[in-house]
Amino acid sequence: MSQAQHKQPPQRQSRQPGSEAKMQPKPEFLPRFKGADKLKGKVALITGGDSGIGRAVAVHMAREGADIAIVYLDEHDDAEETKRYVEREGRSCLLIAGDVAKEEFCREAVGRVIEAFDRLDVLVNNAAEQHEGDGGGALDISQEQLQRTFQTNIFGYFYMAKAALEYMREGAAIVNTASITAYKGKKELIDYSATKGAIVSFTRSLSQALVERKIRVNAVAPGPIWTPLIPASFDDKETAEHGAHAPMGRAGQPNEVAPCFVFLACEEASYMTGQVLHPNGGTVVNG
């Protein structure tokens, strides 16, 4: 199939982190496998779980037997749609709207999970935002944008992990969403790329801090994936060509990334901590 056949129609959304309901074509998020109860009896909290990679992770983990709690900003239609698909897998789904950039909210969200399920086994830090610059460098980035990007993309990870670790026990797992930009950089996404590099270091350092508690911490660094963040971040032309320059010549789908999160959350990855998986369409990176 040619690269042209893999292009998306030009489209643009004006608000972060974007709405899946407005995308054409819709991202593919349903699992391609039969569940094997790899997460049976577990509870997973997924930030940014209403759409994109987060939605796919929620449905994939539900298929493996986990009850799900989703934290999202205010995209209620997307969140309700994700809940319906989780419940179709026979699992419970708790929706929690709020801003992960605020530490108090993160504590409240974890408290609601414990109140609803009385346990927390898996934390997926996935919420993010990004803003495209014109490639002119750091001078293009306002203080407000810089602060907002860091507060959401890395402060939020700290806040949520700190709150969750009060309740997580031996055998629990944290999976963080990094990005190929942490390794390659991107001149139009200097602040976003910097936060993703911070997430890699956060993952490695936290894994060392928690190894004696037998709580594993790993990350997934996706390449160009078709999610609402893309039309909410880039202009029509770049959105249409998203993923075309990957070695595979196309953008990936959320259900091509979500199995990495499932693997890192379950017992099959019991000897992995401080590591990063790279579903990126064939780009070779170190680390």
Residue at token pair 């319906």: 84
Spell out the long-range contacts of 144-150 with Cβ–Cβ below 8 A and sequence spacing 24 or more: 145/191, 146/191, 148/101, 149/191, 149/192, 149/195, 150/191, 150/194, 150/195
Q: How far is CA 22 from the centre of its chain?
A: 19
The string of DSSP codes covering 148-215 is HHHIIIIIHHHHHHHHHTTT--TT-EEEEE--THHHH--GGGHHHHHHHHHHHHHHHHHHHHHGGGT-
Instruction: Give the active site residue among 72, 85, 157, 192.
Output: 192
**Rounded Cα–Cα distance for residues 17 and 15 (Å):** 6
- How many Å is the Cα radius of gyration of the chain? 18
Strand-pair partners of 95: 70
Strands (E), the chain: 43-47, 67-72, 93-97, 122-125, 173-177, 216-220, 276-277
State whether residue 228 is helix, strand or coil: coil
Distances (CA, A) of 15 to 20, 97, 228: 12, 17, 10
192 carries an active-site annotation = yes
**For the chain, how many residues are written?**
287
Name the DSSP letter for residue 20.
G
Q: One-letter amino acid identity for 146?
A: L
- Sign of CA pseudo-dihedral 287, 165, 88, 267: positive
* φ, ψ of residue 95 in degrees (nearest 5): -105, 130
Enumerate the active-site residues: 192
